[in-house]
Amino acid sequence: MNPDAPLLRIRDLYVSYAVRRLPGFSQNRLQAVRGVSFEVQNGSVFGLVGESGCGKTSLARAIIRLVKPDSGSVHYRDFDLSHADAPRSRQARREIQYLFQDPLASLSPRRSIWQTLLEPLLHYRIGNPAGHRTRVGQVLEQVDLLTDVLPRYPHELSGGQRQRVALARALLAEPALIIADEPLSSLDVSMQARMLTLMRKVQKETGLAMLFISHNLAVVQQLATDVGVMYAGELVECGPVDAVLRKPAHPYTQALLDAVRRPASGGLSAPPLRTCAPPGSLTTAPGCSFHSRCPHVMEHCKIIRPHDNFLIATTATGGKHIARCHLWNS
Amino acid sequence: MSPAYGEPVLAVQDLRVTLGARAGGVAVVDGVSITLRAGEILGLVGESGCGKSMTGAAIMGMVPGASGQVSSNSMQLGDLDLAQLDESGWRRIRGSRMSMVFQEPLTALDPVFSVGSQLLEVIRRHQPASRRQARSVATTMLASVGFPDCERAMRCYPHELSGGMRQRALLAMAMVCRPQVLIADEPTTALDVTTQAQILHLIRDLARQAGTAVLLITHDLSIVQAVCDRAMVMYCGRVSEEGPADALLRYPGHPYTAGLLAAMPRLSSGPVEPVQGIPGSVPAPGQRPAGCSFSNRCGRADHLCRSQEPVLHSADPEMSDSPHRHACHHPLAHPIGSATA
């Protein structure tokens, strides 16, 4: 296997859902993900940002095939996940672990934490049974939990403890990639900070790669090496975190940054976006999907769909910085 | 009859809420005093379980009598003594002079009634308006909270709206009678950042226009920074620090406030400052350590902190009546005079 090949490579992925035909809409499929391409390198953290409903979760679920993509490809290591044979599928299932938003929903209420944590070891036949308790103990320590949580049930734990149990369960499968879908949003600020510190520590120690989904750019900056910004199903900007956050190229990224930036002296800084909601993904209006909210809208933005424009690589790592916007047409 | 901007509208002295009947119950709110002034936004901040929502519920008269007892030295809404109200008295006040917005609008709205009918109910219940007048008040209100097509919005059911739009509908219901006090309990926690900013703008603008005093309950200090005039930090049912939002965020005196600030991720254009969480967690009610309740999580705690409970006092040693106050034996030092700057 080529050591320089990306761990995960997504090419032109489309996901849609069948919906009831609504009055005024010509089609009855909701386009959740529209032509997304990006790569996650070994040992890096890719932060995926966007508002609710922009398709982040659909994209993540399509990667692990919880939903079936319409078209496009997902390559994991050197094979295509949609055409992988059984052993390779099994390998990918183990190596790509998913951390869900709400741990109370993703942990079984009827199993003790010990039973929950034992499951990946038994299922993937990792280690020998005599070593299971030691292994679980090690991973619990890694996520800052004491072994006294083992006989307890999810409802007896705090939100922060539950999310750490979910992380421990993912780590026990010895993954190469963790897909974390808004893992912090059910926690309060202090717990968020601890979880974030913990995830950074675990990522550094184990060298695993992460696809980290969040709606908050400030959170993503804490962890990510690369960032992708999604809007209405499209990846509108993508690149190394420094380049994207310091020199945002897409007006939508700029708006997101304004929403979390610290105002210099009290009060609100930036005015909110022009309209309140992104366009319904049911419409296939021509032009750029952001044009109705964009402060820099031009005539041809309303007619022609922009393509990916490469910006000059701005970082030492030479990562590609891409914006899907007419402002950068050369 | 809305009072002038800045005039006190709600004064609560020494509020206590005890839950459970066992052994005298457990105090979840323990001696909190709040004054709200017309048109201002007071942020009430703390981690989950520190008693902030319970404080809001007690002010709205919504602590169920079977499980909790509320007591206070005084609880005045203008010249009305809230402590004397019976349930029918409360029903006249709630929705008209005091109203509330909740975290999860989908559970606060009734799924089987349209937005319009729920809004009309509030108006017809509290105002002597004809059907037609009520309808025109309702559509105007929906327009002012940002619904582009009010006639359509009136007919919408809660599940047909996005999270941000639901929260706008809830705000319309809360503000339609121009209440003197609005209690917003984590109103933007379920929303994403851009919608969050819009809803916060909206709350601030509506409060300024109607002269409503807002108690904004949140765990997120960046929200305090964005819209609040004053802030109050709660820990274990007590106020640990209070003051003008600017001073409190810039010169936190209590280590708990400083801890919350360090936990807040901020965008930086330079090297990323890693966030730091506060070690440990809020002790369960009834299991508070002796002395200062924060002492078991605090890096500055010593023998004094573990034996004697600190009281709220001025953050500025040269000004005993400074509005910036904290309850700490060993507050963080700041440049002299900066506490009120």
- A 139-158 → B contacts, CB under 8 A: 158
How far is B108 from B168, CA to CA, in rounded Å?
12
How far is B52 from B58, CA to CA, in rounded Å?
10
Residue B66: what pLDDT?
A: 72
Question: Are residues B260 and A216, on separate chains, in Cβ contact within 8 Å?
Answer: no
Q: What is the DSSP string of B170-235?
A: HHHHHHTT--SEEEEESTTTTS-HHHHHHHHHHHHHHHHHHT-EEEEEES-HHHHHHH-SEEEEEE
Kindly list the residues from chain A whose CB atom is less than 8 angstroms away from the CB atom of residue B225.
262-263, 266
Residue B176: what pLDDT?
A: 94
> B204-243 pLDDT, tens per residue?
999 999 999 999 999 888 889 889 999 999 999 999 999 9
Question: Are residues B267 and A256, on separate chains, in Cβ contact within 8 Å?
Answer: no
Question: Are residues B263 and A158, on separate chains, in Cβ contact within 8 Å?
Answer: no
Sequence-distant (≥ 6) Cβ neighbours of residue A277 within 8 angstroms? B162, B164, B165
Angle between helices B163-175 and B193-210 in degrees, nearest 10: 10
How far is A325 from A305, CA to CA, in rounded Å?
9
Question: Are residues A276 and B165, on separate chains, in Cβ contact within 8 Å?
Answer: yes
> A16-49 pLDDT, tens per residue?
988 766 565 556 778 889 999 999 999 999 999 9
Q: How far is CA A251 from CA A31, A229, A258, A296, B328, in A?
A: 22, 11, 11, 7, 46
A62 token code pair: 């399509």
Question: Are residues B267 and A245, on separate chains, in Cβ contact within 8 Å?
Answer: yes
In contact, B326 and B251? CB cutoff 8 Å = no
Residue of A nearest to B188 (CA): A185
Q: Which of A188, A261, A273 sits opposite B48 (nearest CB)?
A: A188
User: Is A200 touching B (CB cutoff 8 A)?
Assistant: yes
Average pLDDT, chain A: 86
Q: What is the DSSP string of A270-310?
A: SPPPSSSSPPPTT---SS-TTTTT-TT--GGGGTS---EEE
> A168-227 pLDDT, tens per residue?
999 999 999 999 999 998 888 888 999 999 999 999 999 999 999 998 888 899 999 999
Q: What is the DSSP string of A177-233?
A: EEEEESTTTTS-HHHHHHHHHHHHHHHHHH--EEEEEES-HHHHHHH-SEEEEEETT
Q: Is the pLDDT of residue A264 over 60?
A: no
- B 196-225 → A contacts, CB under 8 A: 196-198, 200-201, 204, 219-222, 225
User: Is A261 touching B (CB cutoff 8 A)?
Assistant: yes
Query: What is the pTM assigned to this prediction?
Result: 0.83
* Three-class secondary structure of residue B157 per DSSP: coil
Kindly list the residues from chain B whose CB atom is less than 8 angstroms away from the CB atom of residue A275.
148
Residue corresponding to tokens 């790669």:
A209
Residue corresponding to tokens 């090419």:
A11
How far is A54 from A46, CA to CA, in rounded Å?
17
Q: How far is CA B252 from CA A82, B54, B259, B260, in A?
A: 54, 24, 9, 10
Q: Which residue has the higher pLDDT, A268 or B183?
A: B183
Q: What are phi and psi of A136, to 5 degrees?
A: -60, -40
Max CA-CA distance within chain B?
A: 68
Q: Which of A190, A246, A256 sits opposite B259 (nearest CB)?
A: A190
> B270-325 pLDDT, tens per residue?
778 888 888 888 888 778 888 999 999 999 999 999 999 999 999 888 888 889 99
Q: Which of A158, A260, A268 sits opposite B193 (nearest CB)?
A: A260
In contact, A173 and A125? CB cutoff 8 Å = no
Kindly list the residues from chain B whose CB atom is less than 8 angstroms away from the CB atom of residue A186.
none
Q: What is the DSSP string of A18-65?
A: E-PPPTT-S--EEEEEEEEEEEE-TT-EEEEE--TTSSHHHHHHHHTT
Kindly list the residues from chain A whose CB atom is less than 8 angstroms away from the CB atom of residue B268.
221
